[in-house]
Protein backbone atom coordinates (compact mmCIF):
# COMPACT_ATOMS: atom_id res chain seq x y z
CA UNK A 1 0.00 0.00 0.00
CA UNK A 2 1.25 3.44 -0.85
CA UNK A 3 2.23 6.00 1.73
CA UNK A 4 -0.56 8.29 2.93
CA UNK A 5 0.38 11.96 3.29
CA UNK A 6 -1.78 14.08 5.58
CA UNK A 7 -1.98 17.69 6.66
CA UNK A 8 -3.48 18.60 10.03
CA UNK A 9 -3.39 22.32 10.66
CA UNK A 10 -5.22 25.34 12.01
CA UNK A 11 -5.72 28.58 10.11
CA UNK A 12 -7.29 31.92 10.80
CA UNK A 13 -10.51 32.53 8.87
CA UNK A 14 -8.42 34.58 6.44
CA UNK A 15 -6.15 31.64 5.75
CA UNK A 16 -3.00 32.30 7.78
CA UNK A 17 -1.19 29.70 9.87
CA UNK A 18 0.90 32.26 11.73
CA UNK A 19 1.61 35.98 11.86
CA UNK A 20 4.50 37.23 9.72
CA UNK A 21 6.92 36.72 12.62
CA UNK A 22 5.63 33.18 13.18
CA UNK A 23 3.47 34.02 16.20
CA UNK A 24 0.38 31.92 16.83
CA UNK A 25 -0.92 33.92 19.79
CA UNK A 26 -4.30 34.23 18.01
CA UNK A 27 -4.61 30.44 17.96
CA UNK A 28 -6.43 29.97 21.23
CA UNK A 29 -9.48 27.85 21.79
CA UNK A 30 -10.74 29.51 24.91
CA UNK A 31 -11.88 27.04 27.53
CA UNK A 32 -12.76 24.22 25.19
CA UNK A 33 -10.08 21.88 26.51
CA UNK A 34 -10.52 19.50 23.58
CA UNK A 35 -7.74 18.40 21.26
CA UNK A 36 -9.85 18.45 18.06
CA UNK A 37 -8.90 14.89 17.23
CA UNK A 38 -5.16 15.59 17.31
CA UNK A 39 -4.18 12.64 19.54
CA UNK A 40 -6.22 10.21 17.44
CA UNK A 41 -4.63 11.59 14.28
CA UNK A 42 -1.11 11.45 15.71
CA UNK A 43 -1.59 7.85 16.84
CA UNK A 44 -1.75 6.84 13.16
CA UNK A 45 1.37 8.78 12.13
CA UNK A 46 4.82 7.29 11.50
CA UNK A 47 6.71 10.49 10.73
CA UNK A 48 6.11 14.21 11.06
CA UNK A 49 7.68 16.08 8.12
CA UNK A 50 8.38 19.81 8.23
CA UNK A 51 10.67 22.48 6.83
CA UNK A 52 13.47 24.25 8.62
CA UNK A 53 11.43 27.37 9.42
CA UNK A 54 8.73 25.37 11.15
CA UNK A 55 11.31 23.30 13.02
CA UNK A 56 13.04 26.42 14.31
CA UNK A 57 9.71 27.93 15.34
CA UNK A 58 8.69 24.76 17.18
CA UNK A 59 11.95 24.90 19.15
CA UNK A 60 10.98 28.33 20.50
CA UNK A 61 7.77 26.91 22.00
CA UNK A 62 9.85 25.27 24.74
CA UNK A 63 9.46 21.54 25.28
CA UNK A 64 9.27 19.09 22.39
CA UNK A 65 5.67 18.37 21.43
CA UNK A 66 6.08 15.38 19.11
CA UNK A 67 6.14 11.78 20.25
CA UNK A 68 6.77 10.60 16.70
CA UNK A 69 9.96 10.83 14.67
CA UNK A 70 10.34 14.22 13.00
CA UNK A 71 12.00 14.70 9.63
CA UNK A 72 13.18 18.21 8.85
CA UNK A 73 13.56 18.91 5.15
CA UNK A 74 16.46 21.25 4.60
CA UNK A 75 19.12 21.92 2.02
CA UNK A 76 21.17 23.63 4.74
CA UNK A 77 23.00 21.92 7.59
CA UNK A 78 21.07 22.12 10.85
CA UNK A 79 22.63 21.45 14.20
CA UNK A 80 20.29 19.24 16.20
CA UNK A 81 20.50 19.53 19.98
CA UNK A 82 21.81 16.41 21.71
CA UNK A 83 18.55 15.66 23.47
CA UNK A 84 16.67 15.67 20.15
CA UNK A 85 19.17 13.54 18.23
CA UNK A 86 17.10 10.36 18.39
CA UNK A 87 13.89 12.27 17.64
CA UNK A 88 14.84 14.51 14.73
CA UNK A 89 16.43 13.67 11.41
CA UNK A 90 17.45 16.19 8.75
CA UNK A 91 17.04 15.16 5.12
CA UNK A 92 17.96 17.19 2.07
CA UNK A 93 15.24 15.80 -0.17
CA UNK A 94 12.45 17.22 -2.31
CA UNK A 95 8.87 15.96 -1.90
CA UNK A 96 9.01 13.06 -4.39
CA UNK A 97 12.32 11.70 -3.08
CA UNK A 98 11.17 12.09 0.49
CA UNK A 99 8.08 10.00 -0.26
CA UNK A 100 10.26 7.31 -1.85
CA UNK A 101 12.61 7.31 1.11
CA UNK A 102 9.74 6.98 3.57
CA UNK A 103 8.15 4.19 1.54
CA UNK A 104 11.45 2.31 1.68
CA UNK A 105 11.19 2.46 5.44
CA UNK A 106 7.77 0.73 5.25
CA UNK A 107 6.01 3.66 6.89
CA UNK A 108 2.31 4.09 6.16
CA UNK A 109 1.35 7.61 7.11
CA UNK A 110 3.18 10.93 7.37
CA UNK A 111 2.03 14.25 8.77
CA UNK A 112 3.16 17.35 6.88
CA UNK A 113 3.53 20.51 8.92
CA UNK A 114 4.38 24.09 7.93
CA UNK A 115 3.07 26.24 5.11
CA UNK A 116 6.02 26.02 2.75
CA UNK A 117 6.26 22.23 3.04
CA UNK A 118 2.51 21.76 2.61
CA UNK A 119 2.54 24.01 -0.46
CA UNK A 120 5.46 22.13 -2.04
CA UNK A 121 3.79 18.76 -1.57
CA UNK A 122 0.43 20.06 -2.85
CA UNK A 123 2.07 21.44 -5.99
CA UNK A 124 3.55 18.01 -6.68
CA UNK A 125 0.22 16.25 -6.12
CA UNK A 126 1.55 14.37 -3.10
CA UNK A 127 -1.01 15.29 -0.41
CA UNK A 128 -3.81 12.78 0.25
CA UNK A 129 -5.83 14.32 3.07
CA UNK A 130 -6.06 17.69 4.78
CA UNK A 131 -7.70 18.38 8.12
CA UNK A 132 -8.09 22.12 8.48
CA UNK A 133 -9.36 23.73 11.66
CA UNK A 134 -10.60 27.26 11.06
CA UNK A 135 -10.14 29.62 13.99
CA UNK A 136 -12.78 32.38 14.20
CA UNK A 137 -10.45 35.35 13.79
CA UNK A 138 -9.21 37.55 10.97
CA UNK A 139 -5.57 38.55 11.44
CA UNK A 140 -5.12 40.53 8.23
CA UNK A 141 -1.69 39.30 7.23
CA UNK A 142 0.70 36.46 8.01
CA UNK A 143 2.10 33.22 6.65
CA UNK A 144 -0.51 31.70 4.35
CA UNK A 145 -1.49 28.05 4.42
CA UNK A 146 -1.87 27.93 0.65
CA UNK A 147 0.19 29.31 -2.21
CA UNK A 148 0.30 29.48 -5.98
CA UNK A 149 -0.50 26.41 -8.03
CA UNK A 150 0.08 25.38 -11.63
CA UNK A 151 -3.52 24.15 -11.81
CA UNK A 152 -6.67 23.88 -9.69
CA UNK A 153 -6.82 21.17 -7.06
CA UNK A 154 -10.24 19.72 -6.25
CA UNK A 155 -11.11 18.20 -2.92
CA UNK A 156 -13.85 16.08 -1.40
CA UNK A 157 -15.17 16.79 2.07
CA UNK A 158 -14.82 13.70 4.26
CA UNK A 159 -15.98 15.20 7.54
CA UNK A 160 -17.07 18.56 8.96
CA UNK A 161 -17.39 19.36 12.60
CA UNK A 162 -17.97 22.55 14.55
CA UNK A 163 -17.16 23.23 18.18
CA UNK A 164 -18.73 25.37 20.89
CA UNK A 165 -15.77 27.72 20.80
CA UNK A 166 -16.53 28.51 17.12
CA UNK A 167 -13.75 26.36 15.68
CA UNK A 168 -14.75 24.51 12.50
CA UNK A 169 -12.77 21.45 11.46
CA UNK A 170 -13.05 20.11 7.92
CA UNK A 171 -11.33 17.00 6.67
CA UNK A 172 -10.78 16.84 2.91
CA UNK A 173 -9.51 14.22 0.54
CA UNK A 174 -7.37 15.72 -2.22
CA UNK A 175 -8.75 14.48 -5.57
Q: Using CB under 8 A as the criterion, which residues of the chain lie in contact with its own copies when the complex forms? A: 13-15, 26, 122, 132, 134, 136-141, 145-157, 160, 162, 166-168, 170, 172
| Residue 51 three-state SS | strand
CA distances from 145 to 18, 28, 64, 87, 120 (A): 9, 18, 23, 26, 11
User: Which of these, 159, 99, 93, lies nearest to 131 by C-alpha position?
Assistant: 159
Closest CB to its own copies among residues 86, 148 = 148
Indicate the DSSP class of residue 83.
Answer: G
Closest CB to its own copies among residues 26, 41 = 26
- Is the CB of residue 150 less than 8 Å from the CB of residue 141? no
Min separation Cβ 72 and its own copies, Å: 25
Min separation Cβ 169 and its own copies, Å: 10
Min separation Cβ 62 and its own copies, Å: 24
Closest CB to its own copies among residues 28, 92 = 28
> From the CB of residue 104, how many other CB atoms can be counted at a distance below 10 Å?
8
Min separation Cβ 95 and its own copies, Å: 16
- Is the CB of residue 23 less than 8 Å from the CB of residue 129? no
Contacts with 151 (C-beta within 8 Å, 6 or more apart), sequence order: none
Closest CB to its own copies among residues 78, 149 = 149
Closest CB to its own copies among residues 71, 127 = 127
Min separation Cβ 156 and its own copies, Å: 5
Amino acid sequence: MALKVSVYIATSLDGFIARKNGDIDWLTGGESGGDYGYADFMSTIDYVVMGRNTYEKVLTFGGWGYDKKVIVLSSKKIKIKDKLKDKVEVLNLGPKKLVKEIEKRKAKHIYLDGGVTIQRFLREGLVDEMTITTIPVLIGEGLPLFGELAKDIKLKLLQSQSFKNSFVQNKYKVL
